[in-house]
Each structure stands twice: as structure tokens, then as C-alpha cells.
Structure 1
Amino acid sequence: MSLISLTWIFCAQIFLHYSLEISAEVPALIVFGDSSVDAGNNNNLSTIAKSNFEPYGRDFQGGRPTGRFSNGRIPTDFISETFGLKPVVPAYLDSAYSIKDFATGVCFASAGSGYDNATSNVLSVIPLWKQLEYFKEYQAKLRAYLGKSKANTVLHEALYVMSLGTNDFLENYYTIPGRSSQFTIEEYQNFLVGISEHFIRSLYILGARKLDLTGVPPMGCLPLERATNIMAGSSCREEYNRISRDFNGKLQVLIEKLNRTLPRMRIAYGNAYETVLQVVQRPLSYGFENAGAGCCATGMFEMGYMCNQRNPFTCTDATKYVFWDAFHPTEKMNKIIADHIVNNNLMVF
């Protein structure tokens, strides 16, 4: 084959790759939520809900802690990569990034946050309403960077991800006396769903048309909850799992309602519950050896500052563990969650 032919094939491949990139149906990934998807916004806050220190991030590119509550990447990083975007979604408050980086993806999530403002107040993190204000600020920057028409196209075609709710129950309702004295658990679930609806309608007014609303995981199977369930042999706490299922069911009803009533809006339900439960129940089938404790420290109680490089009990191979700390999945588990949501819920986009 001649040098001219090889050159032509090489140029054609570059052109094809470039054409696929610019014609992507999802030009950006925009993320709201809690520690399940926080890419490091909390690094800039005065809060104990941080993970920008070792051993967090030890399996991230370069082995550096980024503020992600995992040993590596989180689900939204994998989702972004699957849609042909960047392999990591940058945190909006990270000064290392600019609007050029945010044009194809940005994270407004904050570890410790929830639907309920009272949840965010517990650890002094970014409440959902503030995440929306940051998004409005981002829109203005994007229009200045891309021009109004192109920016509006990106904002309409972008995939929006919401992942939160666990903290509202475990960090707030069942820990702080305020909400539990105001609401029954079902009333509180309805209260949270109402906030979710208001937030989604606000996103819709601001241009969002594609949304993944991810439900809560089986909260009773988190290592922290299993460790305190001593009387039942440290098995999953069925009460919390039932609450997860009930709440997720209410979110699905909300999704059906909004898909009917918001013109050209398409909302998909991200089913993290079933994915995590299946892996916890059959860890060996997914290549895991431990589903009851986290890799970091003893894996039963530690997260955040209690999960640090001085703890001698941290495991050497996180790929054998479903959970990284007592609350958050490992990078390997995060990829399984992301792959399941993409293949079963997000292919409509």
C-alpha cells in the first residue's frame, strides 16, 4: 500500500472520529447530587464531609485524591465516557478547571447533601437549591464562551443526572430529631418527592430535556448499617431497604407524571437499587470477595477523615470489595452501577 493511501486512510479515520464527536446526541453531562456523584466540590467548603486525601483516589489516574468518595472514579465519570465525552466530570468549584472544561460536562454535587435543605445543614454542604444557582451561573458562562445559540443547543441536548436521597434518611431523618418529629416516614418521602418535582421543573424551565433521576440504593446493605445490625448477624437491615424501595417507587410515579406533562422532556429512572442489591447478594458472581465491609480501615464505620492513610487495616486490593468505605462503593462497583444504568435506563438518549 502506498504512502499516499495510508495517509488518506489516516485522515479519513480522523475525520470520522471528529464527525462522530461533534454529532454526539449528548454533548455534555451535567450532574447534581450528593457524595455518590460529587467530583470534589466539597474540597472548597468548611465541612468534615471531605475525601481529598489518601487513600481516597489511590486508583484514580495518577493515584491522586480528588474529593471523590472512592478509590477511583465514580458512576458519572463512567457515564460521561460511555457517551463519548471526557473520562472524568470536573467539579464546578475546582479552580483547576475553566468553562472550556465545563462545556462538555460539569458537576455541582456536594457530599452530604440531599433533597431537604435540613440535610445539607447537618454537615454544612451545598444544598440542592444552591446547586441550581451554580447551574444558572454556569449557563451564563457557557453562553459567553460558546455563543448563545450553540450554548442553548448544548443545554437542551445535555444529559442531566440527579443522584441523591440517601443522606435525607440516614444522615437526617433517622439521626437528627427534627424531621422525624414533623413527619411520618411516608410523609417525609412525599415531602422529598415534592422537592424533587420542583427541582426538575426548574431544570426544565432552564432548558433541560434529558434527565436521569437515580433512585437510592438498598440503604440497609451499606456496611455502616450492617455493622450496627448486630442482633441480626450484621445482615442487611430490611427496614431501610423497604424504605429505599418505597421511596424509589414514588420517584418512578413522579417520572411517569412529568414525562406526560412536560412537553419534549424525557426522564429515565436510574435503578441503582437492584444493581447494588444483586451484587451484595451474589458478590462472587461479579468478581468480589467482600460485600459486607469496606476496603478502607475496618470497613464497618469509617468514611471521610476516619478513612485515612494512617489506618493499618485498609485492604491492598480494592477490586475484591464492593464498598470502598462504610458508605461508598469502590471504583469497580461504580463502573458496574454506571454500566447497568446506561444499558438499561439511558439508552433512550
Structure 2
Amino acid sequence: MAPKSIHLLLLLQFLLQILEIHAKVPTIIVFGDSSVDSGNNNHVSTVLRSNFEPYGRDFNGGRATGRFSNGRVPPDFIAEAFGVKPAIPAYLDTTYNITDFATGVCFASAGTGYDNATSDVLSVIPLWKEVEYYKEYQKRLRDYLGDEKANNIFNQALYLISLGTNDFLENYYLIPTRSSVYSVEEYQHFLEGIARNFVTELYKLGARKMSLGGLPPMGCLPLERTTNLFSGSECIEEYNDVAKHFNWKLQGLVANLNLELPGIRLVLSNPYDILLEIIRNPHSFGFENAATACCATGMFEMGYLCNRFNPFTCQDADKYVFWDSFHPTEKTNGIVADHVVKTSLAEFL
């Protein structure tokens, strides 16, 4: 081989190594609500828990970990797709230590939102507290790995953020405090401001690769359809429209922050379209039921109302889009996560 060809080959190998280094995601770090919580609520004083049967019955070992599903939640599938690990542990779970958390950690809390008032509804972890836990985690990881290695992890990690549904369904539309002050659009703007500040704070703490999660078609959740009996239990389109509009606002926020914050790679991971497609065409994805959930009657139960003493829970959760009245089954989570990995998160692979 000619010297020039050897030189070009070595240069190509070097460039490929550089690209591989920059594309590598060593750690998955998760913030948010029950859509991504892997068990933090087990360790706070709240009624919103799922650390009992039949939750987790299809999880590895059949364990009820505190995930609001029969099995894994989207960050678990995403972490596996990135070759990191098959499941992301909850930060407050004392059966794990800093060695486990070095490659993936979840700070999410079921029932929380961008708005502090949302976390107060069911006494769960507010977003600001999730950030405080993250700062504590940063200190622990620096003590464990040293500053240089830890800072590299913070910089190269993929941050998954999934929030907002509870702000509307468990706060704005149920409790008059916010709705008496804000119109829906004003409340969306209020939440967008919190999202901006949150992403900016993570950026200042070293985060560069971030995924901001959009809202699902929340008017099609079984719990909401149950309350819509006068319309034949169809999806509540008003709620779906709110979700679409808020996602549009988040997309604009993502575009602006990518321009404002040097070096940031922020994407919007929007589950709305893929989840709505599953709900409208369940048979195309191998499901039999999208209107009611697997657990209990499938209409309004979640948490303690969905327990092993309820005789109505289905035998095969894979036939259902939803596990309980608010949360998807493991199969649905896997489909949504796969869609997100192949679209918005593809640039991080």
C-alpha cells in the first residue's frame, strides 16, 4: 500500500474514533414524573405508589419496583438501546449505590410536574428537589471517580426529561387555584418558562445532550375517557388540543435554547403522534384494547386501586395499550421508546 494511502487510512480511522467518542453516551440521567419514575416514590410519604402486585409482574423477576407499569418504562428501553444497561435505578433506592448510578440514575417522581403546586397535590417530589438530588449525585460521583472522569460523564450523559401531563390533568383541570389565575394558554406559557429555567440550570451543571419530552394525547387516557361518558367515552379532544399546543411551544423553546446555549444538543422527544396512532389503530401494533386498561376494570384505577386483590385484572397485558388508567403497558412503552430512539434521539447514537 502506498504511503499516501496508509496516511489516509490512518486519518480515517482517527476521525471514526473521534466520532465514536463524541457519539458515546456513558450514562442515562432521568428527570420527570410517573412516565419515567423507576421507584423514587417508594421512599417518600405519598399515596401515589406502585411497589406492590400486580405492578411489575412482567418486570425482570416479577418485582414491583415502583414503576407504574407491568414492566419497564421508556428510559429502561432507551438505556438498553444505547447499550448502557437494561434498567435505570431510582436514586432513592438504597439497594443501589454510586457504582450503579454511575451508568444511569433516575430522579423522577410520579405525580410531579413543572409547577411546584402540582407536586403538592399528592405530596411527591417537586422538580426543584429532583435538581437538588442531582447536585448531591454530582458530588457523590466526583468523590467516587474524581473530578475529571465525573465531569466527563456529566458532559456526555444523555438527560431524559418527561413532565407536564400532571400539571394539566392533576392540577389545572382539577384544582381551581391555577385556573382561576391563568387561562390555559397563559398556564402553558408559565410552564414553558419553568422548562426553560430547568434546562438552563442543567446546562450550567454540565449537561449538553438533553431530550425534552412532549405531552402524550392526554385526552385519550382511560381515566379521562371514563369521565367523558356523555360523548361515548371518546377521547377528550380539548385535552389533546392542549397537549399539541404545549408541544408546539416546547418545540419553539428547543429551537431557541439550541441557539442561545453554546454546545447544547437539545431535542424534543414527542410521544404524541406515535401514541395516538397506537390508540387509534391498536390492531396494527398487536393490541386488542386501547380504550380501557389491563388492571382492575381498566377505567379509573391506578396506584392502590390497582392491586392484587382486584379480580378483574387481565391475564395478558400485551393485548392492552394501557396498564392502568393513566399509564401504558410495558409493550407500549417499548414501542414508544423505539420510535423516540429512531427519531429524536438518533443523533446521540
Pairwise same-fold verdict (TM > 0.5): yes
Residue 123 of structure 1: aligned partner: 122
Residue 331 of structure 1: aligned partner: 330
Q: d(CA) in 2 for partners of 1:238 and 1:289? A: 22
Residue 251 of structure 1: aligned partner: 250
Residue 73 of structure 1: aligned partner: 72
Q: Secondary structure at the match of 1:315?
A: coil
Residue 110 of structure 1: aligned partner: 109
Question: Does the CA contact (< 8 Å) of 1:222 and 1:326 recur in 2?
Answer: yes
Q: d(CA) in 2 for partners of 1:24 and 1:106? A: 20
Q: Secondary structure at the match of 2:290?
A: strand
Q: Which amino acid aligns with 1:160?
A: Y
Question: Does the CA contact (< 8 Å) of 1:280 and 1:322 recur in 2?
Answer: yes
Q: CA deviation digits over 1:191-237, x for unaligned, max 9?
A: 00000000000000000000000101001000001111111111111
Residue 287 of structure 1: aligned partner: 286
Q: Secondary structure at the match of 1:189?
A: helix
Q: CA deviation at 1:23?
A: 8.6
Residue 204 of structure 2: aligned partner: 205
Is the aligned partner of 1:177 residue 2:173? no
| Unaligned stretches of 5+ residues in structure 1 | 1-20
Q: d(CA) in 1 for partners of 2:38 and 2:334? A: 15
Q: Secondary structure at the match of 1:292?
A: coil
Q: Secondary structure at the match of 1:37?
A: coil
How well do the aligned residues superpose, as a CA RMSD in angstroms?
1.2
Show the 5 A alignment for 1:1-349.
25-349=24-348
Q: d(CA) in 2 for partners of 1:182 and 1:92? A: 35
| Unaligned stretches of 5+ residues in structure 2 | 1-19
Q: d(CA) in 2 for partners of 1:83 and 1:144? A: 26
Q: CA deviation at 1:64?
A: 0.9
Q: d(CA) in 1 for partners of 2:334 and 2:77? A: 6
Dislocated runs of 4+, deviation >2 Å: 21-24
Question: Does the CA contact (< 8 Å) of 1:24 and 1:84 recur in 2?
Answer: no
Q: Secondary structure at the match of 1:32?
A: strand
TM-score (norm 1): 0.93
Q: CA deviation at 1:253?
A: 0.4
Q: Secondary structure at the match of 2:189?
A: helix
Q: CA deviation at 1:275?
A: 1.1
Q: CA deviation digits over 1:231-252, x for unaligned, max 9?
A: 1111111000000000000000
Q: d(CA) in 2 for partners of 1:293 and 1:270? A: 25
Q: Secondary structure at the match of 2:46?
A: coil
Q: d(CA) in 2 for partners of 1:144 and 1:331? A: 36
Residue 12 of structure 1: aligned partner: none
Q: Secondary structure at the match of 2:111?
A: coil
Residue 6 of structure 1: aligned partner: none
Q: Which amino acid aligns with 1:91?
A: A
Q: Secondary structure at the match of 2:291?
A: strand
